[in-house]
Amino acid sequence: MRTKDSVEIAGATDPGIVRKNNEDNFAVDPDLGLLIVADGMGGHNSGEVASDLAAKTIVDFARKMLGGDKNIVPEGGTRGLSVRGAQLEYFVKTANTMIYEKGRAFPKDAGMGTTVVAAIVDAKGLTVAHVGDSRLYLWRKGELSQLTEDHSLVGEQVKRGQISADQAARSNLQNILTRALGAEAEVVVDVADHPLLPGDLVLLVSDGVNKMVTDAEIAAIVASEREPSRVVDALIARSRAGGGVDNITVVAARVPGGEGGSGVGGLVRRLLGR
Amino acid sequence: MPKLLLKFNAAVIKEIPWDKDAITVGRKPDNDIVIDNPAISGHHCKLVKQGAGFFVEDLESTNGTFLNEKRVKTSGLKHHDVVGVAKHALVFVDDNPPPVPAAEAAAPAGDATMVLTPQKQAELAAASTAASKPEGPQKAGWLRILKGAVDATVEVELKGMSTYIGKSDRVQIQIKGSGLFGSAPEVAASIHRKPEGFVLVAVADGYPVVNGNKVSGSTLLKEGDIIDCGATTMQFELRG
């Protein structure tokens, strides 16, 4: 799939090896450049319900407000955000309200919740909004950086410098979130804008990936595969091989260009490519 | 004093201090906590304090007493356990939980993900900051634009995880180019907030200059560092 300005996008989800049900959901909309990964939680099947509702609500509202030539800017919201940031924050907050109210209305869904990481990408930049511990990574020139901060207990401890990232990766408290959609009537959404350069790869993952695969391994996989769909498949396969104890979801988007750079191969490919 | 939060669905309706050895719960008015709901038995369950331990005991109620969604006859209570009676829930809040095991106990059985309540977060934050005094909160990073500002902005707080510097109108800190045509990279550099401090990454290798040295890759910023990008000069400051 491609967006209007040729950003190639792909996504897939896999229940993993241990769990029978898949509480993760993802959505991609090439027309809007919208990418979403949500990792649900809650008894019975309500984890799926929550993550599905999050993905659907965000896509729905994005199509209503950004589809075609529309560009509706919501009122209110956090001050100082870019237009796209304000829109994305609004979509995520709306999803929170939907999940929270559904949890209250149906006893079987009480207490359900979900993480969400949603991004709007084009060839020049990305806007990301997230709640919970699903992550957005940016791979640029061989280097992988995590652009979201996990809203988890260990994430907060790392941020305060109380434990190292290594200790966090081994902690048995990894599954405790400090923020989630559907937990409270109001939610604080982290929103950020990042510019993109040719050749960049944007990666959205649920914790079934980053618990099983180290950042270094992720970087190696991204470096070895050009096509986003291949990156997605390779990361899912690697997460399963690493144990697959949780549901695995990956969405990837590659900004066109930048391949090979000055290399002869890159030049030839550019001449023949398009 | 430990306490109980009486909840109906998600809303807390009442806060009850645990001020005696046994607290009875039921529909009849002689209970300590009266819940007037037909699904609740006359004498539904009892919450007992024995020595330093806390327990819940079902009094042969018709619809059962649940601890964290499992039906129980009697069971011990930990900080933040949820006692379910019909559609109501009593959340046990131990204001003096055993220090480290409290965090361990928070790890649920199995690997189910859970969300921490804001209240508990505050407790944990208080506990953990007390435990690690030397750390202190990270200071806020600021960039003061000394020369070559694009607009009226003179100071920018490095609030987000990443702040970008470049000519593009999509970055937080815009710069002026240098040379004959005033060209500059769309994105020249970025500054990332990391546990070790603020790290400047050269997006355009060799373009940003810190204290007179061209930066390729990344460098950790120190208080007072002078950053040159094209015709714009900035100074890094720590405040807070």
Does A149 contact B161 at a Cβ distance shorter than 8 Å? Answer: yes
Query: Of B205, B220, B228, which Cα lies nearest the Cα of B141?
Result: B220
Does A162 contact B10 at a Cβ distance shorter than 8 Å? Answer: no
The whole-number pLDDT of residue A10 equals: 96
Distance in Å, alpha carbon of B214 to nearest chain A alpha carbon: 19
| Structure-token pair, residue A64 | 């209503």
Does B166 contact A195 at a Cβ distance shorter than 8 Å? Answer: yes
Say which of A156, A175, A178 has its CB closest to residue B111.
A175
The whole-number pLDDT of residue A274 equals: 42
What's the average model confidence in pLDDT over A55-66?
94
pLDDT digits (tens, 9 = 90+) for A80-101: 888 999 999 999 999 999 999 9
Q: Which residues contact B166 (CB under 8 A, 6 or more apart)?
A: A195, B173, B174, B175, B184, B185, B186, B187, B188, B189, B203, B229
Q: Do residues A244 and A18 touch, judged by C-beta distance below 8 A? A: yes
pLDDT digits (tens, 9 = 90+) for A31-47: 999 999 999 987 667 89
What's the whole-number average pLDDT of chain A? 89
The whole-number pLDDT of residue B1 equals: 80
Q: Which single residue is written with the structure tokens 């040729």? A: A6
The whole-number pLDDT of residue B111 equals: 57
Identify the band that residue B122 occupies on the pLDDT scale cut at 50, 70 and 90: low
Strands B33-34 and B11-17 turn out to be unpaired
The whole-number pLDDT of residue A271 equals: 55
pLDDT digits (tens, 9 = 90+) for A187-204: 999 999 999 999 999 999
pLDDT digits (tens, 9 = 90+) for B134-144: 444 568 899 99
- Alpha-carbon distance of B43 to B31, in angstroms, equals 7
What's the average model confidence in pLDDT over B100-113?
48
Angle, CA B189 vertex, CA B177 and CA A129 arms, to 5°: 120
Say which of A149, A160, A173 has its CB closest to residue B135.
A160
The whole-number pLDDT of residue A56 equals: 96
A262 half-sphere exposure, CB direction, 13 A CA radius: 0
ipTM of this complex: 0.70
- The answer, yes or no, to whether residue B42 has pLDDT greater than 80, is yes
What's the average model confidence in pLDDT over B197-211?
90
Higher pLDDT, B53 or B118: B53
Q: Do residues A145 and A137 touch, judged by C-beta distance below 8 A? A: yes
What's the whole-number average pLDDT of chain B? 82
Say which of B118, B128, B170 has its CB closest to residue A193.
B170
Residues A40/A82/A137/A92 CA torsion (nearest 10 deg): 0
Q: Quick one: DSSP state of residue B139?
A: P
| Closest alpha carbon within chain A to B204 | A197
Q: Do residues B90 and B82 touch, judged by C-beta distance below 8 A? A: yes
DSSP H or E segment with residue B124 = helix B118-131
- Alpha-carbon distance of A244 to A209, in angstroms, equals 8
The whole-number pLDDT of residue B54 equals: 87
Higher pLDDT, B51 or B56: B56
Residues of chain B with Cβ-Cβ distance to A159 below 8 Å are 195
* A28-31 contact pairs (CB < 8 A, 24+): A28/A1, A28/A251, A29/A59, A29/A62, A29/A63, A30/A1, A30/A2, A30/A3, A31/A3, A31/A4, A31/A67
The whole-number pLDDT of residue B155 equals: 87
Q: Do residues A135 and A73 touch, judged by C-beta distance below 8 A? A: no
Higher pLDDT, B146 or A160: B146
- Alpha-carbon distance of A117 to A27, in angstroms, equals 11
The whole-number pLDDT of residue B195 equals: 78
The whole-number pLDDT of residue B87 equals: 87
What sign does the dihedral A52-A53-A56-A62 (CA atoms) show?
negative
Does A162 contact B187 at a Cβ distance shorter than 8 Å? Answer: no
Identify the band that residue B106 occupies on the pLDDT scale cut at 50, 70 and 90: very low
pLDDT digits (tens, 9 = 90+) for B19-32: 888 999 999 999 99
- The answer, yes or no, to whether residue B132 has pLDDT greater than 90, is no
Helices then strands, each counted (H, E), chain B: 2, 23
- The answer, yes or no, to whether residue B219 has pLDDT greater than 70, is yes
- Report how far apart the first and last C-alpha atoms of chain A are (Å, whole number): 17
Does B107 contact A173 at a Cβ distance shorter than 8 Å? Answer: yes
- The answer, yes or no, to whether residue B128 has pLDDT greater than 70, is no
pLDDT digits (tens, 9 = 90+) for A122-137: 998 999 999 999 999 9
- The answer, yes or no, to whether residue A213 has pLDDT greater than 90, is yes
Higher pLDDT, A274 or B51: B51
Picking from A48, A122, A148, A178 by the largest number of B CB atoms within 10 A of its own CB, the best residue to mutate is A178
Identify the band that residue B119 occupies on the pLDDT scale cut at 50, 70 and 90: low
- The answer, yes or no, to whether residue A240 has pLDDT greater than 50, is yes
- The answer, yes or no, to whether residue A177 has pLDDT greater than 60, is yes
Q: Which single residue is written with the structure tokens 């960039």? A: B143
Q: Which single residue is written with the structure tokens 């260009």? A: A257
The whole-number pLDDT of residue B127 equals: 63
- Alpha-carbon distance of A149 to A131, in angstroms, equals 9
